[in-house]
Amino acid sequence: MASDKVNKSTSEPLMVQITITFLGVAFLFLIIGMPLVAVFVEAFSKGFKAYIEGINEEYAISAIKLTLLVAAISVPLNLVFGIAASWAIAKFDFVGKRLLITFIDLPFSVSPVISGLIYVLLFGVHSALGEWLIDNDIQIIFAVPGIVLATVFVTFPFIARELIPLMEEQGVEEEEAAILLGASGWQTFWQVTLPNIKWGLLYGVLLCNARAMGEFGAVSVVSGHIKGETNTIPLHVEILYNEYNFVAAFAVASILSLLALITLMLKRAIEKHTSAERG
């Protein structure tokens, strides 16, 4: 905020300051704040009891369980993949490095619906693999494996994208120093590399998790919408909404909104920590 000591020539007139701040806040409220508030208003419109009933219901609970399961599988997978890929990209030179970076970005540039469709085409009944899968009694599409695959695909850039610039900035000198001091590859990773990236990694995991739980498009294509079996929270919200069960729809949606708020708070805490560490 402008204090009395601010040089007049380098600060905007008061009116301009107020107008710009107002525009910014108003826009944020309109686009992000109001919908968020609306979710909770709608969820509690028939009272607290109706809210609890909306959530504490067989299909809602199974959707929550499935979402947690999918996140619990896909986040660790992407964690390992993200660290491995960014380690390779940031610390080594190899043929095809550019290509790998492009592939990591692919899920960001492709519509989630297409991402889901890819798996349907790959593992669906009419695909080459499909018959073999049926013969061996393995179900991927319209089942949990498909949902996990689609979620992994959509969320896999988050951790790698967070780590690559960080690791590139840090360079390889500390690792080289560790190796020359006699450390093994694993010792170097656990004792030197990982502590240096831990906050960036946590940040990436957080974003990855939020997206894994909230993904709709890709999951919608591969899920098959089987109530109590292949519905995740976002899919369940859609079904409830289409059934005009607004209170329950918004009650379940409020869980995702809460998750978003917690994510933001944690993210803020991490940012505070990293900036304090750097300062």
Partner 1 sequence: MGIHVQNISKKFKNFVALDEVNLEVKTGELIALLGPSGSGKTTLLRVIAGLEFSDSGKVLLDGEDASKSKQNNNVGFVFQHYALFKHMTVFENVAFGLRVRPKETRPDEYTIKSKVMELLRLVHLDTFFDRYPHQLSGGQRQRVALARALAVEPKLLLLDEPFGALDAKVRKELRRWLRRLHDDIRITTIFVTHDQEEAMEVADRVVVMNRGKIEQTGTPEQVYHNPANSFVYDFLGNYNELDGWKDKDGTIHLAETVEVRAASSTADIVKEKAGSWLNRYPEITGLLKKVMPRLHADIAVPSTAVSGTKKPFAKMKGKGKPVKIYARPHEMYVEKNPDDHEYIQAKVIHINPAGSLVKMELERSNGNILQVEILKSVFERLSINKGESLYVRPKQTKVFE
Q: From its phi and psi, is residue 47 left (phi > 0), alpha (psi between -120 and 50) or beta?
A: left
**Contact string (CB under 8 A) for partner 1, positions 142-181, x = contact:** -------------------------------xx-xxx-xx
Q: Does residue 191 bind partner 1 (CB under 8 A)?
A: yes
What's the min distance (Å) between Cβ of 178 and partner 1?
A: 7
Q: How far is the CB of 100 from partner 1 (least distance, A)?
A: 20
Give SS3 for 251: helix
Smallest gap from Cβ 278 to partner 1, in A, equals: 8
Site residue total, partner 1 (CB under 8 A): 15
Task: Name every residue whose Cβ is closer than 8 Å to that of residue 264 and which is 6 or more positions away in sequence.
Answer: none
Q: How far is the CB of 87 from partner 1 (least distance, A)?
A: 17
Q: Are 222 and 70 in contact (CB under 8 A)?
A: no
x/- contact string, 192-231, with partner 1 (CB under 8 A)?
Answer: x--xx-----------------------------------
Asked if 123 and 144 touch (Cβ cutoff 8 Å), the reply is no
User: If binding is defined by CB under 8 A, does position 184 make contact with partner 1?
Assistant: yes
Contact 123, 130 (CB under 8 A): yes
- Helix, strand, coil abundance in the chain, percent, nearest 5: 80, 0, 20
Nearer Cβ to partner 1, position 13 or 182? 182
Query: CA-CA distance, 93 to 90, in Å (whole number)?
Result: 8
Residues at the contact surface with partner 1, assessed by CB under 8 A: 173-174, 176-178, 180-184, 187, 191-192, 195-196
